Structure 1
Amino acid sequence: MCLVPMTDNISLPGADWTAMTASYDDRALLLGETLVVADLHVGRGTGGNLELPVGSGSDMVQRFQSLVERHDPAEVIIAGDLLHSFRTVPRSVESTVAGLKSACQAVGARLLVTPGNHDTMLDSVWDGPTETTYRVGETVVCHGHEAPDVDAERYVVGHDHPTISIEGQRQPCYLVGSGQYRGSDVVMLPSFNRLNAGVEVNEMRASDFQSPLVTDADRLEPVVWDESGRETLSFPPLGEFRRML
């Protein structure tokens, strides 16, 4: 299958999207002056045998810092599952969260969390602002594990950790779908944590997704961020994509 590069500035579904610049970068989504990342799962891998677990600790802070330095956002939204463990918070988690805070402070960005289902211990490491849903213009950001009770033109979520297999290689991907939830559009972000293997969406149906915001998987369009070329690669909707394999 041939990959089709796109430009960094993208056009996502919704009538008012042209009023806001949107771009992808390293599993994040930039909406005007708002940077959104999801599913950091800070603390995952700290109990294993890896001395420097990829995707955790300093690696995550460095990638996060690079993002905010490149884009200089006014605010950064963590769309749920900042933490990984439901019961304990390893000591290293505190330093990682402090590093995320420091990166935002260095560029004058406000950092906010929309808690996810893993964030049962959030209060132990986070004293900053939290919102169940956070509105950016006509876009609402939330984790996506529960159906939001606010209306929006589109919803930006995480939760399912989407990946896609292309020519034998599995890549984290964004999923962009029109009319997914109450007639509104949904953009699902991949997990920012590189330790998360993610869920392969190639053959998934709507009922296979954990997020209730996905109602028609065939209409979800995968988008892959190619770090080596620093460009986005877009694909047909999953319904058509499956027929091409």
Structure 2
Amino acid sequence: MTPRYRDRAVYLPSPDVLVVADLHLGRDAVSNVEVRVGEHEDVTDRFAGLCERFKPNEVVVAGDLLHSFGSLPRGVRETLRELKTSARGVGARVVVTPGNHDAMLETVWDGPMPAEHAVGDWVVCHGHEPPETDAAGYIVGHDHPAIQIEGQRRPCYLSAESIYDGADLLMLPAFTALAPGVTVNGMRTRDFQSPLVTDADALRPVVRDEAGDETLRFPPLGEFRRLL
């Protein structure tokens, strides 16, 4: 079935799995600002809303659950407790596939954390390294894609068929609203950090307009650039 795009996440109706990527918990605390910018409330409220909406059997985090490499900022454990409570409230188990920022993951996470996790025909992983598991498609994060339209930058998904060893690819935007996103409009294959991107021109941006309850699909980047 077609993936459902919602609020920087994706829901797979079959096998009933919600996937998020790049929460970067603790980014708020280590930001160079005098006033905290509401990371905890934003992430936990939106995560709870997605769990209530879809009531998945499983929630998979596609890497970079944490932000800091060598420390755990104040508030991270509390945020994790609330995320687990929201998932348990709808009967979902949570799986974390570690990303390159998750060096401290084992100190705060006691649930499953495989490098790659199969969900139906898809394999979920962070996307910073080539996957070892064969799959029809891969769901990743890592690059924090965003697209600029009429001067406004919006987080976006990127999808392509048969782009990595014959497999499809779906790249998610960062779930944290504190990540501004990397504008992909003019990016070439070499500009992406994920080795799963082998042809940037084939990537189709998808933007979710939550206010209008609308999913906007754009031409592949190779064509989209010519339209700008």
TM-score by length of 1: 0.90
Equivalent residue for 1:30, pick from 11, 35, 38: 11
> 1:13-57: CA deviations, max 9, x gaps?
xxxxxxx35201000000121000000000002134353414x11
1:152 counterpart = 2:135:
yes
Report the CA distance between 1:90 and its aligned residue: 1.2
Q: Which residue of 1 aligns with 2:42?
A: 59
Moved >2 Å (runs of 4+):
47-52
Equivalent residue for 1:119, pick from 99, 102, 117: 102
Report the CA distance between 1:197 and its aligned residue: 1.2
Query: Which residues of structure 1 form unaligned runs of 5+?
Result: 1-19
2 CA distance for matches of 1:244 and 1:179? 24
1:72 counterpart = 2:55:
yes
One-letter amino acid of the structure 1 residue matched with residue 49 of structure 2: S
2 CA distance for matches of 1:72 and 1:45? 28
Q: Which residue of 2 aligns with 1:16?
A: none
Instruction: Count matched residues.
Output: 225
Query: Counterparts in 2 of 1:161-176, with a 5 A limit?
Result: 161-176=144-159
Query: Which residues of structure 2 form unaligned runs of 5+?
Result: none
Report the CA distance between 1:91 and its aligned residue: 2.3
One-letter amino acid of the structure 2 residue matched with residue 244 of structure 1: L
Higher relative contact order (CA 8 A, sep 6+): 1
One-letter amino acid of the structure 1 residue matched with residue 192 of structure 2: F
Percent identity of the aligned residues?
58
Report the CA distance between 1:152 and its aligned residue: 0.6
Cα root mean square deviation, aligned: 1.0
> 1:169-217: CA deviations, max 9, x gaps?
1000000011211011100000000000111000001110000000000
**Contact 2:29-2:74 within 8 A present in 1 as well:** no
Report the CA distance between 1:71 and its aligned residue: 0.6
Query: Counterparts in 2 of 1:39-118, with a 5 A limit?
Result: 39-47=22-30, 48-54=32-38, 56-118=39-101
One-letter amino acid of the structure 2 residue matched with residue 49 of structure 1: V
